[in-house]
Structures are given as C-alpha cells and as structure tokens.
Amino acid sequence: MTKAAVEALTRGMARDLGSRGITVNTVQPGPTETDMNPDENVRAVLRQMLALGRLGKDTEIASLVAYLAAPEASFVTGAAFTIDGGYLS
C-alpha cells in the first residue's frame, strides 16, 4: 500500500507543480548491496529472486537519480521508476 500511495502522491504533485516547471518522480529501488544487508545468507536468497542474479549497486541507483535531476529529463514527470534487477518480474 505504501508504494501505491507514494506513486499516487507523485502523480498528483507532478500535476500540481508542472506549470511551475517542477518535475516530480519516484525511484523504487530493490535489493541493493549496502552495509544494511551484511548477512551473506540473506544476500544469497535475494540473488536467487533477481532476474539478473545479483544485488544492485548504490551507484546504479544514484545514476538513475542523477538522470532524473539532469536537464535531459525535463519532460519526465509523474513517473515511478522501479530499479530492482528484475525482482518484480
């Protein structure tokens, strides 16, 4: 429910703020290699659930965020980007 609520909020804010030239998007990362998930057993289970067979890298998430903040993404608004290595596929 939370992700759906954030998506709905994102679309509403994109509508409200678009006339001011402000874009609003959401990034929904999946399992990512960080210090928050140090347990190798958990990582092994997660890797089996991912289409790419590996956890994401923080730089991959950051690259998407950087793109959305760049002038090249000025026509992208109201979108939800799932970056999860195929976890939901």
Q: Please tell me the distance from the alpha carbon of residue 16 to that of residue 8, in angstroms, as a whole number.
A: 12
Residue 88 falls inside a structural domain: no
52: left (phi over 0), alpha (psi -120 to 50) or beta: alpha
pLDDT value at position 47? Answer: 93
Q: Please state the domain count of the chain.
A: 1
What sign for the dihedral angle of Cα 77, 25, 1, 5?
Answer: negative
76 in a domain, yes or no? yes
- Can you give the residue range of the structural domain that contains 73? 2-83
In a domain, 16, yes or no: yes
Query: What is the C-alpha to C-alpha distance for residues 18 and 22, in angstroms, rounded to an integer?
Result: 5
CATH number reported for the structural domain that contains residue 73 in this entry: 3.40.50.720
pTM for this model (two decimals): 0.86
CA-to-CA distance for 4 and 29, rounded, in angstroms? Answer: 14
Answer yes or no: is 75 within a domain: yes
- Could you report the per-residue pLDDT of 44-82, keeping only the tens digit for each? 999 999 999 999 999 999 999 999 999 999 999 999 999
